[in-house]
Structures are given as structure tokens and as C-alpha cells.
């Protein structure tokens, strides 16, 4: 039941592998983190140090796992922020290797491209997601900006999100979850699978919440692997992510308090029911 997680990492704060790994472990999964970048902190803090992991180093790590026969024990692959366009083919190669040894393995692709109208990834990465990443995935978790970039549909309402999700389903993914939809009642997340769709909405919180999308993707994958149906997985992942952002805002921190508040995040007090859209 191991998970290969190919994402960013920071020394201080919680984004990428630094956000999702611990909570997947809390759910009982051994996680093999392969870091696409190693930064001192989230770049949005204004300054950071570190570097993008060379593609050949990442390939060597995955080759090493394969040589030990470990990929046969992998039940899921999670990918997020890539750092370099050359990382994309490495991710897909890892997915192919795992599926060759475990046909039931899930691949969740969080197509990290940007947010709030801005692309913030290196050249070639967004095109990789649009042409190959989404098509290869079983599950995709874009925010509204990323969903719009991938589909050409301006995602401003839940109905827009459904249209974008349908287009992504047509490329291959079985489950699509789109986050960050602004509604009159707050911030909504939808999840679509098998022709059905659900929405859950929480009050908007005025806080950066760095790493919230990475946390959501990891928790959604973890719940799906624990045999939760998509609706239940959405409810639990959204509740935990909202709790983390709310607690960060209450403490005045831009970074999520994932270690200090781990129990409240894993077992949130309030889990809002998702309602069916179709």
C-alpha cells in the first residue's frame, strides 16, 4: 500500500511533499517522496533559497526503487509541482512502470500550473499537463485557474466547473475534482465521477494557506485508497483542508499548522455533506 509521491518540498512550512506526506502516513500509507525541488520555504514569502532537482537525479531515484522491486508494492502515484518540464516524462515513466506491475494502481495528477490568473511554473510544464499529464491520470485536482487553462473554459461557477470536468473526463481521468470555486456561500469544491457530481462549500477564509491544494490532493487520494467513494473522499478532504486553513488564519500564519494541529485536521469537527449536482 505504498505511495510514490513526486512533488516539491520545503525545509520550513508545508507545501508539496512537506504537506501531503505526513497526512498520508497518518492514514496508514508508507510514502516514498521524490522531491522535484528543495527550497528553504515557499517562494511567496518573498525570498527563498534552494534548487530544482536535476531530472537525472530524480530518474536515478525511481530507477533505484525499480531495481529493488519496490514498484510492485506501489498502489498509487501522486504528482504535483514539477519544477522542470523534463520532470514530466519521468513521472509518466514511473506511472507506466508501476501500472505494469500493479494494474490497479491509481495515479493522481495535481496539475500545478498557477492561480489567481497567473502561471507560475517553468516553460513547458503547463503544456505537459495539457497534452499528457491529465490524459494519463486516474484522478486530477486542478484549481479553477488550472481547469480553465487545461480546457479553455472560464471556470467561474459550479456549472462552468462541471463543463470543464466533463472535458477532462473525455481525455481519460475517472475522477475530477476542481477546487477554489467562488460562490455566494463561500468557496466550493466539486468532484465528478461516473457521470455523477457533488459539491461541498465552506466559508471563504482570508488567508494565504500555502500548501492547501497539496494537502487536499493528498487527503483525497488517501481516502480513495481507503475505499471511500468519491463523494465521501471529497467531504473528508475538503473538511480537513478547510480546518487547516482556518487554524492557520487564526494563528496569523501563512503556513499551515499541520504538525501542531494534526489531530484536528485528520478528524475535523465539522464535515459538511456534499450535495449532488447531477
- Give the residue-averaged pLDDT of 7-12: 95
The CA distance from 189 to 54, in Å, is 34
CATH number, domain 2-276, options 3.40.50.720, 3.40.1190.20, 3.40.50.2300, 2.60.120.620 = 3.40.1190.20
Contacts with 86 (C-beta within 8 Å, 6 or more apart), sequence order = 55
pLDDT digits (tens, 9 = 90+) for 174-228: 999 999 999 999 999 999 999 999 999 999 998 888 999 999 999 999 999 998 8
- Mean pLDDT over all residues of the chain? 96
Q: Judge whether residue 161 has pLDDT over 90.
A: yes
Interhelix angle 212-225/17-26, nearest 10 degrees: 30
Q: How does 57-80 read in b/e, with b if 16+ C-beta sit within 10 Å? A: ebbebbeebbeeebbebbbbbbbb
User: What is the mean predicted confidence (pLDDT) over 219-240?
Assistant: 96
Q: What integer pLDDT is reported at residue 236 of this predicted model?
A: 97
- Rounded Cα gap, residues 32 and 183, in angstroms: 37
Q: According to the model, what pLDDT value does residue 14 have?
A: 93
DSSP secondary structure letter of residue 222: H
Give per-residue pLDDT as tens, 99-123: 999 999 999 999 999 998 889 899 9
Report the percentage of the chain scoring pLDDT > 70: 100
Does the pLDDT at position 61 exceed 90?
yes
- Burial class of 43 by CB neighbour count within 10 A (0 to 12, 13 to 18, 19+): middle
pLDDT band at 45 (very low <50, low <70, confident <90, very high): confident
pLDDT recorded at residue 95? 98
Which is more confident, 60 or 227?
Answer: 60
- Please state whether the predicted TM-score (pTM) of the whole model is above 0.85: yes
98-102 long-range contacts, Cβ below 8 Å, gap at least 24?
A: 98/4, 98/71, 98/74, 101/71, 101/72, 101/74, 102/71, 102/72, 102/74, 102/75
Amino acid at each position: 500500500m505504498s505511495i510514490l509521491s513526486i512533488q516539491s518540498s520545503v525545509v520550513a512550512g508545508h507545501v508539496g511533499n512537506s504537506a501531503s506526506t505526513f497526512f498520508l502516513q497518518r492514514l496508514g500509507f508508507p510514502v516514498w517522496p521524490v522531491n522535484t525541488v528543495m527550497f528553504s520555504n515557499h517562494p511567496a514569502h518573498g525570498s527563498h533559497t534552494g534548487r530544482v532537482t536535476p531530472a537525472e537525479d530524480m530518474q536515478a531515484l525511481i530507477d533505484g526503487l525499480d531495481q529493488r522491486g519496490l514498484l510492485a508494492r506501489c498502489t498509487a502515484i501522486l504528482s504535483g509541482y514539477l519544477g522542470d518540464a523534463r520532470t514530466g516524462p519521468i513521472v509518466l515513466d514511473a506511472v507506466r512502470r508501476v501500472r505494469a506491475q500493479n494494474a490497479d494502481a491509481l495515479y493522481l495528477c495535481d496539475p500545478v500550473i498557477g492561480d489567481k490568473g497567473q502561471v507560475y511554473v517553468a516553460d513547458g510544464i503547463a503544456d505537459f499537463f495539457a497534452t499528457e499529464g491529465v490524459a494519463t491520470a486516474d484522478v486530477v485536482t486542478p484549481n479553477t485557474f488550472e481547469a480553465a487553462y487545461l480546457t479553455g473554459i472560464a471556470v467561474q461557477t459550479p456549472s462552468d466547473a462541471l463543463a470543464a470536468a466533463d472535458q477532462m473526463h473525455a481525455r481519460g481521468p475517472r475522477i475530477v475534482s476542481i477546487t477554489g470555486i467562488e460562490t455566494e456561500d463561500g468557496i466550493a469544491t466539486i468532484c465528478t465521477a461516473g457521470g455523477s457530481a457533488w459539491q461541498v462549500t465552506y466559508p471563504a477564509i482570508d488567508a494565504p494557506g500555502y500548501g492547501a491544494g497539496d494537502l487536499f490532493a493528498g487527503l483525497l487520494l488517501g481516502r480513495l485508497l481507503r475505499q471511500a467513494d468519491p463523494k465521501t473522499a471529497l467531504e473528508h478532504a475538503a473538511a480537513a483542508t478547510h480546518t487547516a486553513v482556518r487554524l492557520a488564519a487564526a494563528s496569523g500564519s501563512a503556513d499551515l499548522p499541520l504538525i501542531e494541529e494534526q489531530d484536528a485536521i485528520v478528524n475535523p469537527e465539522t464535515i459538511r455533506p456534499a450535495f449532488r449536482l447531477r
